[in-house]
Amino acid sequence: MRYSPERKPVITLAAGPVDSYPEVLSALSKTVLYDYDPAFQLFYERVVDKAQTAMRLSGKPVILHGEPVLGLEAAAASLITPADTVLNLASGVYGKGFGYWAKRYSPNLLEIEVPYNEAIDPQAVAAMLKKHPEISIISVCHHDTPSGTINPIDAIGALSAAHGAYLIVDAVSSFGGMKTHPEDCHADIYVTGPAKCLGAPPALTLLGVSERAWAKMKANKAAPFASMLSIVDWENAWSRDKPFPFTPSVADMNGLDAALDLYLGEGPENVWARHALTAKATRAGIAAMGLDLWAASEAVASPTCTAVKTPDGIDEAELRRLARERYGVVFSAGRADTLGKLTRIGHMGTTAHPIYAVTALAAYGGAASLLGRKVDIGKGIAAALAVIDAAA
């Protein structure tokens, strides 16, 4: 066994978190400032400004000091009241999961659920809105990571806005890796974070909040206040003149600052392009090896994560174990309903470079072959390189 569980892998091609950029890692080791120090308060304001630029927001984004699950749960707790009717769109494990939080705050939950290798059809949303004019909130996961599939949130957002509903979007594993911004999809609460495509460690949530969402949250008497789940507590935290409700994660703010500098410095379009190309090369290689994508069509396949359907007769956990032990390459399993049915190859941040498609194909193909599913790895790699070279 070359890479025993006690040893570090060579490369983590998981669906997030992935390794951070070196500049982010060195920023994490900066001096830890006192959060009331004017230097820190000014720094915090500047980081919020950079996040605002990256998210292309007209208002200030909110930073919450916990993994994006905090932001998703806080969005449900702050925005949804028993008077709301929520339409939850579920095309995967995360989308489905949001429905359980929604249900905690309102008994009125409607759902559109599609098989977890497909995407939500905006026409189905339009039909549901017509049938249920009482729908006041729509929730959707943009990239349902355990399926590696993308929902058309800009189209869904346009329908939601026309209906007058509030829209909650989970864009945790898409923002920074493809063209998506809160205002492009009319999101009222848009949840993302630095640990997927921005290449920083898991620790923070970035939220885009619309004017009307602020008003609704403030009017909600049951919304959390003086609580880790509160969004409203953080409304003015961006300002150097306002105190923080709780101590922010100082070191992770340094990391986020570096990650935003890298994203804006490279140019968002360039960053998205290398994510898309890595995914495209991976998909071409998978097809050339005679293997199947999990996604029902290329059109719904994510540019930030490729889910490969587990070949018949192969134990998926064994395949990942071999890829890691023999080659030092880490992939992600599915989650809940997709566990065992697929393997995920992440293309996020530091790992969104086309040559990693070749690494992934070699490790996946090698492990599958060892388990008795003979695949033509050479063909897969040639197909990936053809895609990469055609884009040069």
Ligand X SMILES: *Cc1c(COP(=O)(O)O)cnc(C)c1O
User: What is the binding site for ligand X (CB under 6 A)?
Assistant: 16, 67-69, 94, 141, 143, 145, 170, 172-173, 196
> Which CB atom, from 143 or from 181, has the smaller least distance to ligand X?
143
For ligand X, which is the closer residue by CB, 175 or 327? 175
Q: Which is nearer to ligand X, 141 or 168 (CB)?
A: 141
> Least distance from C-beta 93 to ligand X, angstroms?
9
The nearest distance, CB 208 to ligand X, in angstroms, is 15
Question: CB of 249: closest distance to ligand X in angstroms?
Answer: 15
Minimum CB–partner distance for residue 163 and ligand X (Å): 24
Minimum CB separation of residue 386 from ligand X in Å reads 30
Distances (CA, A) of 107 to 77, 78, 214, 292: 13, 15, 23, 40
| Residue (143 or 373) nearer to ligand X, CB | 143
Please report how close the Cβ of residue 67 comes to ligand X at its closest, in angstroms. 4
The least CB distance from residue 196 to ligand X, in Å, is 6
CB of 200 to ligand X, least distance (A): 13
Nearest distance from C-beta of residue 207 to ligand X, angstroms: 13
CB-based contact 188:79 (threshold 8 Å):
yes
Conformation bin of residue 46: beta by default, left when phi > 0, alpha when psi is -120 to 50: alpha
Task: Choose between 320 and 335: whose C-beta lies nearer to ligand X.
Answer: 335
Alpha carbon of 93 to those of 205, 338, 339: distances in Å? 20, 8, 10
Rank residues 116 and 327 by Cβ distance to ligand X and give the closer one. Answer: 116
Shortest spacing between CB 236 and ligand X, in angstroms: 26
Helix 377-390 / helix 268-288 crossing angle, nearest 10 deg: 150
Task: Please state, as a whole number, how many other Cβ atoms lie within 10 Å of the Cβ of residue 204.
Answer: 27
Q: Toward ligand X, which CB reaches closer, 16 or 201?
A: 16
Which residues partner with 90 through β-bridges? 113
CB nearer ligand X, residue 172 or residue 293: 172
**Of the two residues 117 and 173, which places its CB atom closer to ligand X in the complex?**
173
- b or e along 286-295 (b: 16 or more beta carbons within 10 Å of the residue's beta carbon)? bebbebebbb
Residue type, 156: I
